Structure 1
Amino acid sequence: MSGNRATIRLPMAESDRHLVDRWKGEEAPLLPLLHAFHDRDGHLSEQALRAVSEGLRIPLAELYGTVTFYHHFAREPGGALEPRVCTGPVCRMRGAEAVVGALEGAVEMPCSGRCDDPIPVLRGNETFVATPAAELEPRPTPLPPPSAEGVEECVFRHIRAPHRDTLDGYRATGGYRALDRMLGSGSPDELLDLIDASGLAGRGGAGFPTGRKWRAVRDADGGPKTVVCNADEGEPGCFKDRVLMDYDPHAVIEGMLLAAFATGATRGFIYLRYEYPETADVLAHALDEARGAGYLGRGVDIHLRRGAGAYICGEETSLLNSLEGEHPFPRNRPPYPVTHGYLQTPTVVNNVETLASIPPIVTEGAAWYRGLGFGDQAGTKVVSLSGDVERPGNYEVPLGLPLATLLHDWAGGGRGGRRIQAVTMAGLSGGFLAGDDLDVTLDEPSIRAKKSFLGAGGVMVFDESRDMVEVALDAMRFFAHESCGKCFPCRIGTRRLVERLSGEAGPREVESWIDELSDLHRTMKSTSACGLGQAAPLVTESLIRYFPERVRTLVEARR
């Protein structure tokens, strides 16, 4: 034969057809269908991808590009069972590289959200913790430490109650009372006014007023309207959402249903990061319980969708693209999700902690919530504390609490009695605080005055034994690895910063080195498409600010 070749289409296997038919009529079908094949076969085969392509009518090349963007979809047989070892900043300090070397077939993965109990290892759909001898032990998510005496909590106020993760346990501690009240005698306007009055702002990092976001969705034209819970906490050093979902899943569900009531939404999604497989089981069971009790399925339903490993999907528009089965690049804004979100309909995207705050605000009132903070700061914030500190964990603090109080009084100070040299803010995205600037309070105005931000509340601690250039290099390698590649200021800028921190390239005079990095910083912050490229420069900016002598040593070593 010569000339055009006919495309040969092999018939779809009956077992493949069954999986495709199970999901193709569902909302946001691509991710659950890919997971179904991945779980069944231990990898995504060419045959499976062709079945998905045909069943969902996605061009094969486009599907392949999307699948290979995610970290955790194995393409070789048995790949799903290979041990994946967290090599995030805290785990690397605790010897993660040795664990990778000791476990047969192990591969590295970015921070997997268990910085309070290192070193986590994923194998299949199970999470283990590696002992110093590289033995793997299953361990549940650690509960939050008890609150300090006299400090009232919001989202953690009942989390330690027995069986709080079940419907009966949740109801026994006041669960669904807020929703019952609103459905019985409340109105959307009343709820919106209450959330406005409480001062609640987004707890996922952006800090946008929750009431304003909900009101924008309620007032937007078009529909059906959607509520999305962003449970893709991929920021290194952040692990607060995991504890809320593992021990208080109904609080998140009730918060979503209240958001739907306020905005007029009729569908919802929980987008859960891949690295939380046990959490997926907890949420699925809680959703079944809520559906059986009549809270779901009568006007509003909520679907659980599990990601596949991509830091950028924590950015709300990338998350929406991922849900829709598109390549998870950030979208250009405007338009914003409140008018053009999931499938271009009005959509509210809220973080887990934000949603879990809603039921207690409704039951206790806006004044109660505002009064939980110090001074003019409204409410509380869960801070994930990890690294070189005696008692790591999730702490719900009053906004405005001094950082020193959290580090020394609540968490016991530096590990082994060593001096605390620096901390990160907002996971890695806020860069470092050190020296006199550790004397801040935990709220946005105080921390932004030091050229950082609180964000999602991840605080990693580094004692005097740590080389801060190495810490900064590790952080920048993470950002370079996780850059989605859509915009060149981020894609190229993070790579150039890695080269300069490692000594691979760059000027050999300190002043020229700093000038070059300052130019890189300005370009990245002003022209990157999303928060990754805008935040990464804060790492090197703060390194130069707090550790100039260490920077001088780095640069002069290249002469």
Structure 2
Amino acid sequence: MADIASWNEAQAHSIIAGHAGREGAALPILHDLQAAFGCVPLDAEPLIATALNLSRAEVHGIVTFYHDFRRKPPGRHVVRVCRAEACQSVGGDQVAAAVRKALSIDWHETTPDGSITLEPVFCLGLCATGPSALLDGQPLGRLTPASMTAALNQADAPLATVATNAGVTPGTGPGAPPRIYVPRDAAALALGADAVAEALAPHASIVRTGSRGLFWLEPMIEVETAEGRIAYGPVQASDIPTLLAGGLLSAQATHKRLGRPEDIPFLARQTRLTFARCGIVDPLSLDDYRAHGGLQGLAKARAIGPVATVETVLASGLRGRGGAGFPTGIKWKTTAEAKGERKYIVCNADEGDSGTYADRMLLEGDPFSLIEGMAIAALAIGASKGYVYTRSEYPHAIATFNQALEIARNAGILGADFDIEQRVGAGAYVCGEETSLLESLEGRRGQVRAKPPLPAHKGLFGCPTVINNLVTLASVPVILKDGAEAYQTIGMGRSRGTMPIQLAGNIRHGGLFEAGFGITLGELVNDVGGGTRSGLPVRAVQVGGPLGAYFPPALFDTPFDYEAFAARDGLIGHGGIVVFDDTVNLAHQARFAMEFCAAESCGKCTPCRIGSVRGMETVDKIIAGQQVEDNLGLLRDLCHTMKFGSLCALGGFIPYPVLSALDHFPEDFQRPQGYTRPGHAPQGQTPRGLAAE
């Protein structure tokens, strides 16, 4: 970690003063204070209160609401271990238990020598390469108890200097070194991409890209040839001498050779629109972005004007890709027609669902697509300011987007009357709910607002506001560029265009698969995904994150479509699919759903705040064999109370995984505690097919 200073009131005053005049400055101030002092010292609260004209109680409430803010400095190193469902499905619980045992501490504690602080986290966006963790902000993937322990033992080792292409234009012409593309996507970094880039740097011109989304092949490098790029993967630094000796620089090496990326079946059967540039372009090169169709949508919007731009988005049939599926054009039209002193565009990049990583991929691999989409939206509704609310668990995405934003601003892409600011969340899952996000942006606890009024009429700082998911906004440029009709021809029913479906958890071919709506769940899991990573039969898949239902193979004929999933008491959410093999115990997963809700509830409404705790207690009694039938009935009643009585989707949808587990896997609620099917790993241990990884 960076050096941490002792408490210094003058320094704190200086940090706070640096945010003078900033709208909703509370979270930026708290982040900067914690960066300086390792925590938010209690002594800082009255200083913040005075600067922001808040009471000390209000400031204390903000600090204690968000999981990220500490009350005392951490150890020299901070390890954050993912506890979410995708990592659980491949032995994440075993990794977590091994870390706690090796360090002899529990969550939120620091080793006696002050070396390591251990923290849990509910998703790092590394869901196709789990189990995962962050060590001092650096991603680690495909962890085992042994590899996690080894990483902790090496925590004090100096980091290598990594070759990047920041500010470098790769050479061209006969005398130039060959060009090799190495991903800088966090999932690739978690598997050793930086070490690969460093090993290749003396021999080639290295271009760092995002990922194409074939995460089982990461790190996947691509060698530029006259016939196109040739891919190799998965490549480790230790493979480089063999590859170089075999002719890698001319793409003649056969070791780990995959051929042309576009010919790999996983990519070949996709319809890449929103993610067409990911893994191909340097994410910080505007020239690359333009060369691959970028900024054409913005030019079209400026040519046809705001009204026609809104009508184009309406005609395309684009619906919100964050889960609710609300028609984007209607939201834009309502906000454009609303009266207000100012108008805002807010991008919800607080992607917190286990099994999802599309937002992270775009922020790290094609950030200009979001910037272009927000500029189009601003033109359409007359907004002067945009905010991107990004989750703190994505440090690499945050850094990349900030760099891209500065490049776009300096190049005049945003125009004279519009600007964008990135705001970083602080570990509260509920801030993915749009009104909770607005509260957070305004510098308050992320508690849900009752609706109406809708944000389109009275949103951020009381002004008309469009809140769109990142993928929604990044889809807009291609709609403007190619036309609404071209987008409308893809998909089924009311679900038009493409969806970035994220295959995660215990799946052989984990990655991002962009396709038109209508492909079935079975095709995605078995044909595209190749079944389980462990080699055991698929028993359940959870679609839509921690609020999504568990689907058994009997329902794998369900087409990927908003209405089709709703008809089967499910939701597609952000498009994440987490696969579990037949070692999973769905009673334990139902219990985890209630635990997650209890940890992440904003606390405003009783059904969510109290219901989640009572739900945990009830499932515990069922698992323990106490009055099972009575408690099963009680659990169903509780779920219905939460579903229809909660203010927002967190409390309202958390019954989906619980009820689906009860409906489709009732046998798991009738087993004695600790029961394990013969020949299978006990709950919380690595499935036997993964033990050798």
Q: TM-score range by the shorter chain?
A: over 0.9
Asked whether the equivalents of residues 534 and 581 of structure 2 are also in contact (C-alpha less than 8 Å), the reply is no
Q: What secondary structure is seen at the aligned counterpart in 1 of 2:321?
A: coil
3-state SS of paired residue (2:502): strand
CA-to-aligned-CA distance 1:407-428 (integer Å, 9 cap, x gap): 1121111223321111111112
Deviates most, 159-168 or 431-440: 159-168
2: CA distance, partners of 1:80 / 1:396 = 41
Structure 1 residues 449, 554: closer, same or farther in 2, change over 3 A?
A: farther
Name the CA shift for 1:504/1:420 in 2 (closer, same or farther; >3 Å).
closer
Moved more, 168-177 or 47-56: 47-56
| Deviation per residue, 1:94-118 (Å, 9 max, x gap) | 2331234435431222222211122
Match of 1:365 in 2: 483
SS in 2 for 1:400: coil
Residue 306 of structure 1 corresponds to which residue in structure 2? Answer: 424
Distance 2:651 2:620 in 1: 19
Q: What is aligned with 2:551?
A: 433
Q: Point out the more displaced range, 27-36 or 147-156.
A: 147-156
1:317 equivalenced with 2:313 (yes/no): no
What does residue 118 of structure 1 align with?
130
- Please list, as runs of the form range in 1=range in 2, the aligned pairs for 1:485-504 lying within 5 A after superposition: 485-503=603-621
The amino acid of 1:85's aligned partner reads: V
Q: Distance in 2 between matches of 1:536 and 1:44?
A: 32
1:157 has 2:276 as partner: yes
Question: Which structure 1 residue ranges, 5 or more long, are not aligned?
Answer: 1-11
Partner residue of 2:39 out of 9, 27, 43: 43
> For residues 139-538 of structure 1, what are the structure 2 equivalents within 5 Å?
140-142=185-187, 143=211, 144-145=213-214, 147-183=266-302, 185-296=303-414, 298-374=416-492, 377-503=495-621, 508-538=626-656
For residue 83 of structure 1, give the secondary structure of its aligned residue in structure 2: strand
Deviation of 1:127 after TM superposition, in Å, equals 3.3
Q: Is the 8 A contact 2:623 2:672 kept in 1?
A: no
Where 2:545 maps in the other structure, the secondary structure is coil
Distance (Å, rounded) in 2 between the aligned partners of 1:449 and 1:311: 26
Report Cα offsets for 1:206-265 as digits up to 9, x if no partner: 100000000010011113000000000112222211001110101001101111011111
1:102 aligns with 2:102: yes
- Following the alignment from structure 2 to structure 1, what is the Cα–Cα distance between the partners of residues 499 and 307? 26
Query: How many Å separate the matches in 2 of 1:509 and 1:547?
Result: 19
3-state DSSP of counterpart to 2:22: coil
Work out whether residues 270 and 513 of structure 2, in 8 Å CA contact, stay in contact via their aligned partners in 1.
no
Aligned length: 546
* Residue type of the alignment partner of 2:38: G
Deviation at 1:52, TM superposition (A): 1.8
Contact kept in structure 2, 1:89 and 1:475, CA below 8 Å? no
What is the rounded CA distance, in whole Å, between the counterparts of 2:577 and 2:500 in structure 1?
11
8 A contact 2:507–2:531 mirrored in 1 = yes
Distance apart, 1:508 and its partner CA: 4.5
Are residues 1:542 and 2:541 paired? Answer: no
Distance 2:297 2:16 in 1: 39
C-alpha contact (below 8 Å) 1:234/1:314 kept by paired residues:
yes
- Within 1, Cα distance between the matches of 2:127 and 2:611? 27
Contact kept in structure 2, 1:388 and 1:463, CA below 8 Å:
yes
State the alpha-carbon separation in 1 of the partners of residues 57 and 622 from structure 2.
Answer: 36
Q: Cα distance, 1:64 vs. partner?
A: 0.9
Is the 8 Å Cα contact of residues 130 and 505 (structure 2) preserved in structure 1?
A: no
- CA distance, structure 2, for counterparts of residue 528 and residue 83 of structure 1: 34
Stretch of structure 1 that moved more, 121-130 or 238-247:
121-130
Report SS of the residue matched to 1:105: strand
Question: Which stretch shifts more, 159-168 or 292-301?
Answer: 159-168
Which residue does 2:22 correspond to in 1?
26
- Paired residue secondary structure (1:349): strand
Contact kept, 8 Å, 2:355 with 2:502, in 1: the verdict is yes
- When structure 1 is superposed on structure 2, of 454-463 and 212-221 the one drifting more is 454-463
Q: CA deviation at 1:499?
A: 1.4
TM-fit CA distance, 1:395: 1.5
CA spacing shift, 1:367–1:411, aligned 2, 3 Å: same
- 1:5 aligns with none
1:47–1:25 Cα change, 3 Å: same
**Secondary structure at 1:343's aligned position in 2?**
helix
**Helix, strand or coil: the match of 2:421?**
strand
Letter in 2 for 1:96: V
Q: What secondary structure is seen at the aligned counterpart in 2 of 1:99?
A: helix
Q: Deviations over 1:303-355 (max 9, x none)?
A: 11001100100000000000001121000110010011100100000001001
Equivalent position of 1:70 in the other structure = 66
Q: Does the residue aligned with 1:460 lie in a helix, a strand or coil?
A: strand
- SS at the partner of 1:106? strand
With 480-489 and 267-276 compared, the bigger mean Cα shift is at: 480-489
- Where 1:497 maps in the other structure, the secondary structure is helix
Partner Cα distance (1:127, 1:510) in 2: 42
Give the 3 Å change call, closer, same or farther, for CA 54–505 of structure 1 in structure 2.
farther
Point out the more displaced range, 110-119 or 185-194: 110-119
Instruction: Indicate the larger mover: 399-408 or 46-55.
Output: 46-55
Percent identity, aligned pairs only?
A: 37
Counterpart among 139, 144, 154 of residue 127 in structure 1:
139
Instruction: Report which stretch shifted further, 253-262 or 436-445.
Output: 436-445
Q: Please provide the CA RMSD for this pair.
A: 2.3
Deviation at 1:38, TM superposition (A): 1.0
C-alpha separation between the residues in 2 aligned to 1:355 and 1:304?
15
Which residue of structure 1 lines up, in the alignment, with residue 231 of structure 2?
none
CA offsets, 1:265-289, max 9 Å, x none?
A: 1100000001011111111101101
In 2, the alpha carbon distance for the partners of 1:549 and 1:60 equals 52
1:536/1:149 CA distance change after superposition, 3 Å: same
Counterpart of 1:61 in structure 2: which amino acid?
A
Q: Is the 8 A contact 2:281 2:289 kept in 1?
A: no
For residues 643 and 494 of structure 2, what CA distance do their matches in structure 1 show?
A: 30
Q: For 1:453-501, what per-residue CA distance to the aligned partner results, in whole angstroms no more than 9, with x for missing partners?
A: 1111111111112112122222221112111111111111111221122
* Unpaired stretches in structure 2, ≥5 consecutive residues: 1-7, 104-115, 160-183, 188-210, 215-263, 676-693
Say whether the 8 Å CA contact 2:590–2:619 is kept in structure 1: yes
C-alpha displacement at 1:156, in angstroms?
Answer: 1.2
AA of the residue aligned to 1:405: E
Q: In 2 relative to 1, CA 417–158 (structure 1 residues): closer, same or farther, beyond 3 Å? A: same
